[in-house]
């Protein structure tokens, strides 16, 4: 596969680490915001967890490694439990994505700390930080698409709550369509475009 030939082993390993960190933080942030607004559904589903694998989507991991854009395992919300109702879902989604975007420049602040490590360890940490920033920047933009399965796709739970039972099917179809669009090049490498504007160092 051409894509795999274009990636070195260090690229693949660091991307895996970056996607794991991204998925953990993004899932935890979305679940935490929902809980703050009174919705315990993500907590009951085990998403308010320090375990990164509770948030990880295997397809999101694969796309993240190959294309530096990813998503977390879809969360379910209870609109009726949210203090803001349907608007609360929008607050959770936008707050979660904005929070992740803010972590991109925050990650730059960790670079001086990484330099305190032995040279080989510092190189690994700096590389993972760079990959995390790239994956996160691209993923935030990707997840703004209101497609079931992506973060912003949760808005349909507020718009069409009666379709709750069919939601897993819609999410599977939505993520399949997103994966196909990314592989076909219809969705470009978003992280490389936006990262210079988010990172304090301006690196892509």
Task: Report yes or no: 189 and 67 within 8 Å, Cβ to Cβ.
Answer: yes
Report the C-alpha gap between 4 and 199 in whole angstroms.
Answer: 27
What is the pLDDT at residue 151? 96
Rounded to 5, what percent of the chain is helix, strand, coil? 70, 0, 25
In this structure, the number of other CB atoms found within 10 A of the CB of residue 118 comes to 8
Nearest CA to 191 out of 127, 139, 126 is that of 139
- The token duo for 43 is 């907590």
CA Rg value for the chain: 17
- pLDDT tens digits in sequence order for the chain, 204 residues long: 455 557 778 888 899 999 999 999 999 999 999 999 999 999 999 999 889 999 999 999 999 999 999 999 999 999 889 999 889 999 999 999 999 999 999 999 888 888 878 877 788 888 899 999 999 999 999 999 999 999 999 988 887 766 666 777 889 999 999 999 999 999 988 888 888 878 777 565
Report the C-alpha gap between 27 and 103 in whole angstroms.
Answer: 14
What is the pLDDT at residue 116? 79
SS3 101: helix
SS3 84: coil
Task: Name the DSSP class of 57.
Answer: -
What is the pLDDT at residue 191? 85
């Amino acid at each position: 596969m051409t894509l795999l030939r274009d990636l070195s082993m260090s690229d693949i390993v660091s991307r895996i680490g970056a996607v794991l960190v991204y998925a953990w933080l993004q899932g935890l942030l979305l679940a935490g915001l929902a809980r703050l607004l009174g919705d315990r559904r993500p907590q009951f589903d085990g998403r308010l967890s320090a375990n990164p694998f509770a948030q990880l989507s295997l397809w999101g991991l694969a796309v993240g490694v190959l294309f530096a854009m990813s998503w977390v395992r879809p969360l379910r919300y209870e609109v009726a439990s949210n203090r803001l109702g349907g608007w609360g879902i929008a607050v959770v989604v936008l707050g979660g994505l904005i929070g992740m975007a803010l972590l991109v420049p925050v990650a730059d602040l960790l670079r001086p700390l990484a330099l305190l490590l032995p040279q080989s360890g510092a190189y690994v940490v700096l590389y993972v930080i760079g990959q995390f920033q790239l994956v996160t920047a691209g993923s935030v933009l990707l997840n703004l698409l209101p497609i079931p399965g992506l973060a912003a796709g949760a808005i349909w739970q507020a718009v069409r709550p009666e379709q709750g039972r069919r939601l897993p099917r819609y999410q599977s179809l939505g993520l399949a369509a997103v994966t196909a669009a990314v592989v076909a090049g219809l969705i470009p490498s978003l992280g490389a475009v936006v990262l210079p504007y988010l990172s304090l160092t301006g690196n892509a």
